């Protein structure tokens, strides 16, 4: 099973994307629909809302008057948080029931309007955001829902800003165009990313990668991509992790690298390392078979290892026991970050070794060893 978080600003086209995903076979759990269900007439949820907001949020039939409630909460952030404190736990409980009932090979899409606002992005191995300019979204709310422009703007401004939403996104779907254009993007996402991701994750299988080193130009989005991975790893590891860091070449601004995010997790012992690596499946990472270790001067040092099931985002997650190679890994990263001459020398070495024949990525990495050891000696000096 693969769990996907889907969100987007009101009026951006999220509902269209969710419907298309459902048509392709996803199990879509609609948070808005659940939010209505948990405050239906006769429910404890509705009773709690009335107790907090008064009888004025009820219609003549005794059901919740959502526009009346909306006028209160969208104009006052404190009151909106008060409502969320009532409804969100109820929605999550119902959602967990629906996910538990989904097939083992399902792609479960959580359609959550306030996924970013509630700080929950790390709960999903992949987050997709449907994006559209605020002006487009307001025009749609006015045209399709009959809202006054002032109310439409209030709803848009009450949600996360566009930058915050994009920062949480592994995938951004452009919802500014017509329905057909958005559906084509969803279809491509489904076929090219979600289906393979789910299959690899379910079977605990590493996604395929090139068998030799392929360097790319520095990507300014690597830190933001790493931040999302780190948040998921921290959530999965919990308090077992002493530290979780972005390391390796993609953590050094301006350094060409293989398009792989290296993550280092430091724990207390090898048994814990293995348990953490297993639990990283919740972050979209799988633990490949075999034994893994670091080569230290005193001999091999065992570690655990997890890597991507999502072929679109390669990750090497090294789960190391404290007192091993973790300090050298950080020292090399920090040397390359602060010293442009060291960074450029390393870049030249990497380019030369990648261009020369090599049997595997491991062979390429081994040939960097002498330079790295010398650089660490310089860093210690």
**Does residue 14 have a known ligand-binding role?**
yes
* Ramachandran area for residue 11 (φ above 0: left; ψ -120 to 50: alpha; else beta): left
Q: For residue 207, which phi and psi values (nearest 5 degrees)?
A: -70, 150
Tell me which H or E stretch contains 130: strand 126-131
DSSP E strand boundaries for 13-91 = 27-30
β-sheet bridge partners, residue 246:
263
- How far is the C-alpha of 372 from the C-alpha of 253, rounded, in Å? 18
Helix or strand (DSSP H, E) at 321: strand 315-321
Residue 13 annotated in ligand binding = yes
CA 103 vs CA 26, 99, 279: distances in Å: 11, 9, 20
Partners of 307 in beta bridges: 286, 316
Task: With beta carbons less than 8 A apart as the criterion, state whether 233 and 122 touch.
Answer: no
CB atoms within 10 A of CB 361: 17
Q: What does residue 108 show for φ and ψ, rounded to 5 degrees?
A: -95, 120
Can you name the residues that pair with 130 across neighbouring β-strands? Answer: 8, 173
Phi-psi label, residue 349: left if phi above 0, alpha if psi -120 to 50, beta otherwise: alpha
Structure token pair of residue 285? 């990472």
Any binding-site annotation on 250?
A: no
- CB atoms under 10 Å from CB of 350, counted, come to 21
Asked if 293 and 314 touch (Cβ cutoff 8 Å), the reply is no
To which H or E segment does residue 319 belong? strand 315-321
| d(C-alpha 96, C-alpha 296), whole Å | 45
Residue 12 counted as an annotated binding residue: yes
The partner residues of 244 in beta bridges, in order of sequence, read: 265
Tokens 């002006």: give the residue.
135
Q: Rounded to 5 degrees, what are φ and ψ at 74?
A: -80, -15
- Annotated binding-site residue? 323: no
Cite the annotated binding site by residue number: 11-16
Cite the annotated binding site for ATP by residue number: 11-16
């Amino acid at each position: 099973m693969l769990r996907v978080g889907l969100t987007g600003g009101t009026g951006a086209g999220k509902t269209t994307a969710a419907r298309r995903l459902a048509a392709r076979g996803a199990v879509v759990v609609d948070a808005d629909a659940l939010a209505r269900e948990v405050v239906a007439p006769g429910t404890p949820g509705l009773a709690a809302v009335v107790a907090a907001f008064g009888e004025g949020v009820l219609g003549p039939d005794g059901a919740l008057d959502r526009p009346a409630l909306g006028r209160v909460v969208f104009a006052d952030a404190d009151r909106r948080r008060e409502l969320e404190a009532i409804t969100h736990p109820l929605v999550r409980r119902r959602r967990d029931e629906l996910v538990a009932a989904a097939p083992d090979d399902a792609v479960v899409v959580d359609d959550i309007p306030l996924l970013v606002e509630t700080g929950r992005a790390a709960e999903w191995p992949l987050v997709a955001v449907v994006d559209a300019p605020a002006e487009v979204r307001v025009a749609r709310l006015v045209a399709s829902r009959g809202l006054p422009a002032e109310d439409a703007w209030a709803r848009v401004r009450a949600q996360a800003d566009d930058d915050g939403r994009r920062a949480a996104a592994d995938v951004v779907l452009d919802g500014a165009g017509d329905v057909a254009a958005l559906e084509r993007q969803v279809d491509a996402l489904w076929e090219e990313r979600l289906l393979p991701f789910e299959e690899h994750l379910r079977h605990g299988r590493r996604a395929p990668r090139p068998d030799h080193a392929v360097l790319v130009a520095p990507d300014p989005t690597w830190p933001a991509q790493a931040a999302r991975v780190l948040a998921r790893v921290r959530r999965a590891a919990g308090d077992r992790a002493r530290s979780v860091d972005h390391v390796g070449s993609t953590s050094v601004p301006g350094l060409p690298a293989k398009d792989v995010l290296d993550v280092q997790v430091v724990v207390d012992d090898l048994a814990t390392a293995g348990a953490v690596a297993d639990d990283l499946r919740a972050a979209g990472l799988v633990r490949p078979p075999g034994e893994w270790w670091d080569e230290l001067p005193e001999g091999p040092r065992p570690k655990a290892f997890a890597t991507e099931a999502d072929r679109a985002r390669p990750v090497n997650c090294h789960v190391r026991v404290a007192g091993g190679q973790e300090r050298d890994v950080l020292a090399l990263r920090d040397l390359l970050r602060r010293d442009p001459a060291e960074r450029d020398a390393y870049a030249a070495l990497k380019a030369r070794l990648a261009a020369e024949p090599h049997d595997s990525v491991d062979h390429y990495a081994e040939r960097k060893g002498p330079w790295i050891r010398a650089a660490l000696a310089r860093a210690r000096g």
